[in-house]
Amino acid sequence: MSNDLNALSLQELKALRSDVDKAILNFEKRKKAEAVQALQATAKELGFSLADLVAEAGHPKKEKVPARYANPGNPDETWSGRGRQPAWYKAEIAAGREPADLEI
């Protein structure tokens, strides 16, 4: 298929783009459905359901990092030392405290 895109109007180009976007979306949906059907058939041949296998695989859960620092004014506020520093930690450091003073 060879179209001379330069001969099309802006409206025709936008319509063409919309049609192409829809065709791509439908193609991806169709391919995913085919993949799911193939996986279900393979799972069935092995004596399982696809849902069982997916549930078994699961997603690994991230382990929660233990708290390393605690707010002396409110011990319920803790920080692991990773990520952004909480406001209370910044305030304590700005007030002259050492990080070691805030360790749990």
Nearest to 89 by CA among 67, 71, 65, 66: 71
Contact 88, 73 (CB under 8 A): yes
- The 3-state DSSP class for residue 99 equals helix
pLDDT band at 60, cuts 50/70/90? confident
pTM, two decimal places? 0.46
pLDDT the model gives residue 62: 78
Contact between residue 62 and residue 83 where contact means Cβ atoms under 8 Å apart: no
Q: Is the pLDDT of residue 90 over 90?
A: yes
Going by the DSSP 8-state scheme, the letter that residue 80 receives in this structure is -
Distance CA 101, CA 92 (A): 10
C-alpha span between 85 and 79 (Å, rounded): 8
Tell me what the mean pLDDT of segment 30-47 comes to: 95
Residue 92 burial by Cβ neighbours in a 10 Å radius (0-12, 13-18, 19+): buried
